[in-house]
Structure 1
Amino acid sequence: MDTMGELIRVGITGQGGFMGSHLYNYLGTKENDINRINFERSYFENEIALQEFVKSCDVIVHIAAMNRHEDEQVIYDTNVGLVQKLIAACETTNSTPKIIFSSSTQEERDNLYGKSKRDGRQLLENWASKTGAEVTSLLIPNVFGPFGKPNYNSFIATFCYKIINNETPTIINDSLVNLIYINELSEVFYNEIISEEKENIKSFVVPHTSSRKVSEILELLKEFKVQYVDHGQVPKVDLQSFELDLFNTFTSFIPKAYFPRKFTKHTDNRGAFVEIMRAGTAGQSSYSTTVPGITRGNHYHTRKVERFAVISGKASIKLRKIDSDEVIEYILDGTEPAYVDMPIWYTHNITNIGDTELITLFWINEPYNPEDADTYFVEV
C-alpha cells in the first residue's frame, strides 16, 4: 500500500478500548510507516464527525464492539449497528478505505456475540463487493495482555485483578484455551495494514500462539503473587515466552502505591549490606552515577522487565503511561535503599534531586541489543 513512500493513514474504531488502545500504542512505534488518525467514541453518535474520520483514513481497523451485556440482543444490535454506521459514512462520502475487521473465532458459536461478528462481516463484504473496496476480516482467538478490564475483556484480566486484591478466583470450566498475546495480535494487524496485496475480500483465522488450561494459568498467577508481590523476586520468565507475557499482564494490575519497595538493610560495625535483586531468570545488571539536577531516561519498553534501585543519593522517579497525561512520582533516598520496577508501556525517567552524586543500580531481564532495543524515547 505504501508505494509512494507516504505514511499510511490509519484510524482505529474502539481506539480507547483494550485491543484498540494497544494497537494505537503499537502503531506509535511504527512512525516511519504509519500516521495515526485519532478516533473518538462519540463519532458513532455524530454523522459528520464519522464521515470526516472515514475520509481521513487509508485504512480503518474496526475494533469497536460490545463484548458483554446482560441482554445478548443488545450486544447483537450494538455491534451490527456500528458496522452499519461505518458503511453509511463511507457511502455518503464515497470513501473506500481498506477496512480490517476484528472478528472472533466465536463466529461459528451459537451465541449472539458470535452472530453479530458474522453478520457484521457479511455487511462489510457486501459493501466491498459493490464498491471495489478491500475488506479483511481477522477471526481472533482469546486475547490477553496488560490493562484489560476485569470481568469484561478476558478471564486472565479477572484472575489478575482478584489475585492482586487477595480475592479467590473461581474456575467455571477448566478447559484448554487457545490464546494470543496483545502485542502479537497488534503485529498481525500491522502486517495486514502495510500489506500491498490487493484482495477485494479476505478473511483468515489468526493463529493462536499458546494453549493453556485455565487451572494452569491460575497456578502461574498465584505463583507470581507469592514470588513477586510478597517477596519482591522476579519469577522465571524466559524471553519471548508465554510466561513473560503473562507476567507483564499480571504486573499491570499492581497498584502504583505498591512502590517504592524498601530493601532490608543489614548494618554492623563494618558498614551495611543490602540484597538488591533476586530473580529466577537471567538478565543484565548495571549502575549509573548522576550529578545533581540531571535527568536520565525518558523512554518506554513494550516487553522488558526493569528495576531501578537507588542506593546512594536522592532521586525522583517519574512514570507516565504513554496514552495518559497522569504522571506518577516516587521519591527515593539512598539512606533507606529502595526500588521501583518499570511497567511496560510507561515512559519513565530518574532525576537527581539531591546535592550529592546519585548512584542507581539497574536490572533488566534481557541484555541490551541495539538491533532490537525495545526502547522508545518519549518525554515523561
Structure 2
Amino acid sequence: MIKTGITGQSGFMGQHVYNYLGTKPEQIECVDFKRELFNNIELLEKFVSSCDVIVHIAAMNRHENPQVIYDTNVGLVQKLIQACKNTGATPKIIFSSSTQEERDNLYGKSKRDGRKALEKWANEYGGNVISLVIPNVFGPFGKPFYNSVVATFCHQLNHNETPEIYKDGTVNLIYINELSKVFYNHIINQSTEKVELVTVSHTARKKVSEILTLLNSFKKNYVENGVVPNLTDSFEKALFNSFASYIPKDYFPRKYTKHSDNRGAFVEIMRANTPGQTSFSTTVPGITRGNHYHTRKVERFAVISGKASIKLRKINTDKVYEYHLDGSEPAYVDMPIWYTHNITNIGDTELITLFWINEPYNAEDPDTYFETV
C-alpha cells in the first residue's frame, strides 16, 4: 500500500485525482489533506510524515493581482519543503506544473520557481521530485471563469447564458481522467531518479470555436431534445461528460410523451447517435438496485411501470438528490459520472425499468464501483 496525500484535495484537479486513486484501494491508501494544514505547521508536519507520496496540486490560478498568485504558490511550496526538513521526511513529491512555465507571467514563474525549489530540496535532503508539465485540463466539476474555458462555456450554456469567444486560438487539452491516470502511474512507478521533469502530452488539440460548436450541439440535441450524442470519439465523450456535469439537478426527471388510444399506449424511450446496450429489470416492492458509480459511462434509467425512487450522490460528498418516477407518466433520469446511484421500488406493484448505457458490460473493464448512496 502506497500512502498518498494530495495537497489541494478539494480543488478541481485534486478531487479528481483523489477519486481516481479511490478506485485503486488494493494499491493506494489516501491520506486526507485539508486546506488549513498549510496554516498549521504541526499538522503539516504530521501530514508529510504520514505520506510515501505527496501530490502537490494546491495552487492559485487566478487573482486580480498577479503578485498574489506568485507569492501564494511559491509560499505553499516553501511550507511543504520546511515541513519535510523539520521532520526529516523524504516522501516522493509529484509536483503539478504547467506549460505556462515558459511564459512571461507570474503564474508561470511561480510554477517554475516552485519546481526549482523542490528540486533543490530533493538533491540536498535525499528526496524525490517528479514535476509534471501539464497542458490545459478540462473535465466535470471545474470552476467556471477559473479552471478552463470548457468549464466556463459549460456553465454558461446550462444557465441560459451566451458564451463569447474573445480569441479563437488553438488549445492543447487533456481530460482530467487521463491526467489522473498519469499521476497514478507516477505514484506507483518505482523510479529512483532524484529529480525528473516530465512533459505531459496533450490528448486533443482544438480551436476554441470547435469546442463551443460541440457544446452548443449538446445543448440543442441533448438538453432540449433528449438525444444522446455520438460518443465513439474519446474527446467528444469526455467533453459531453464534462458538459453533463453542469446540468442543473432539477432538469430531471424528464417525462416522455405518451401516446394513448383504444389499443393501449406507445412511448418512445430514447434516441441516440451512438452505440449502446439496452436492458430491463423487474423489481419487487421495497427492493433497491444499484449503489454504484461510473467514471466514464453514460447511463439512462427509464421507469415505464410502477413507482420508483432514484437517488444520486456525488462520491466523497454528503448531498443526496432524489427523484420520484411513476410509470403512469413514464420518465427517465440520466446518471452523471462520479455519482453513485440506486433505484428503489417504492410502490405496491412490480417496478419495470429500462436501462440504456453507451457501452456493453465488460467484466474485465466494468467501470462499475460499488458505494452506497
The reply to whether residue 26 of structure 1 matches residue 20 of structure 2 is: yes
Alignment of 1:57-136 (within 5 A): 57-136=51-130
SS at structure 2 position matched to 1:372: coil
Q: How does 1:36-75 map to 2 (within 5 A)?
A: 36-75=30-69
1:9 corresponds to 2:22:
no
Name the CA distance, whole Å, in 2 between partners of 1:132 and 1:349: 49
Residue 172 of structure 1: how far off its partner (Å): 1.3
Aligned to 1:345: 338
Residue aligning to 1:243? 236
Report the alpha carbon displacement of residue 236 of structure 1 after superposing the two structures with TM.
1.1
Partner of residue 305, structure 1: 298
Report how far residue 330 of structure 1 moved: 0.3
User: Where does 1:149-168 land on structure 2 (aligned, <5 Å)?
Assistant: 149-168=143-162
Distance 2:42 2:306 in 1: 56
- Residues 120-154 of structure 1 show CA distances to partners (whole Å, capped at 9, x for unaligned) of 00000000010111000000000000000000000
Q: Give SS of 2:177's match.
A: helix
Q: Distance in 1 between matches of 2:249 and 2:298?
A: 16
TM-score normalised according to structure 2 size: 1.00
| Other structure's SS at 1:349 match | strand
Give how far 1:166 is off: 1.3
1:323 shift after superposition: 1.3
SS of alignment partner, residue 74 of structure 2: helix
The alignment yields a C-alpha RMSD, in angstroms, of 0.5
Corresponding residue of 1:367: 360
Q: Which residue identity is paired with 1:272?
A: A
Q: Secondary structure at the match of 1:191?
A: helix
Q: TM-score, normalised by structure 1?
A: 0.98
Q: How many angstroms apart in 1 are the aligned matches of 2:204 and 2:76? A: 31
- 2:349 maps to a residue whose letter is T
Cα shift at 1:255:
0.5
The code of the aligned residue for 1:355 comes to D
Provide the residue aligned with 2:259 in structure 1. 266
Match of 1:370, SS state, is: coil
Alignment deviations for residues 296-338 of structure 1 (CA, whole Å, 9 cap, x no partner):
0000000000000000000000000001011110000000000
Over the matched positions of the two proteins, sequence identity in percent amounts to 72
Matched residue, 1:327: 320
**In structure 1, C-alpha distance between the alignment counterparts of 2:46 and 2:305, rounded to whole Å:** 55
Paired letter, 1:274? V
Task: Say whether 1:198 aligns with 2:198.
Answer: no
Q: Which residue of 2 aligns with 1:215?
A: 209
**Map of 2:245 onto structure 1:** 252
Q: Unpaired segments of 5 or more residues in structure 1?
A: 1-6
CA distance in 1, matches of 2:159, 2:343: 29
Greater displacement, 158-167 / 76-85: 158-167
Partner of 1:4: none
Give the drift of 1:165: 1.1
Post-superposition shift, 1:200?
0.4
CA deviation vs aligned residue, 1:152-205 (integer Å, no higher than 9, x gap): 000000000111111111111111110000000000000000001110000111
Distance in 2 of aligned mates of 1:325 and 1:185: 26
Aligned length: 373
- Which consecutive segments of 4 or more residues in structure 1 shift more than 3 A? none
1:197 partner amino acid:
S
- One-letter code aligned to 1:185: L
SS of residue paired to 2:38: helix
Residue 144 in 1 paired to residue 142 in 2?
Answer: no
Alignment correspondent of 1:175: 169
| Cα distance in 2 between the residues matched to 1:256 and 1:17 | 21
Give the AA of the match of 2:238: D
Q: Distance in 2 between matches of 1:283 and 1:13?
A: 38
C-alpha distance in 2 between matches for 1:323 and 1:102? 22
Letter in 2 for 1:366: E
Amino acid at match of 2:256: F
Post-superposition Cα deviations, 1:200-249, rounded to whole Å, max 9, x if no partner, equal 0001110000100000000000000000000011011216x100000000
Choose the corresponding residue for 2:285, options 279, 292, 307: 292
CA–CA distance in 2 between the matches of 1:167 and 1:325? 29
- Return the alpha-carbon distance in structure 2 between the equivalents of residues 323 and 208 of structure 1: 28
Distance in 2 separating the partners of 1:327 and 1:170: 34
Q: Read off the aligned partner of 1:51 and give its amino acid letter.
A: E
Displacement, 1:271? 0.3
SS, match of residue 23 in structure 1: helix
1:356 to 349, 352, 371: 349
| Alpha-carbon displacement from aligned partner over 1:56-102 (angstroms, at most 9, x marks no partner) | 00000000000000000000000000000000000000100000000
Match of 1:276 in 2: 269
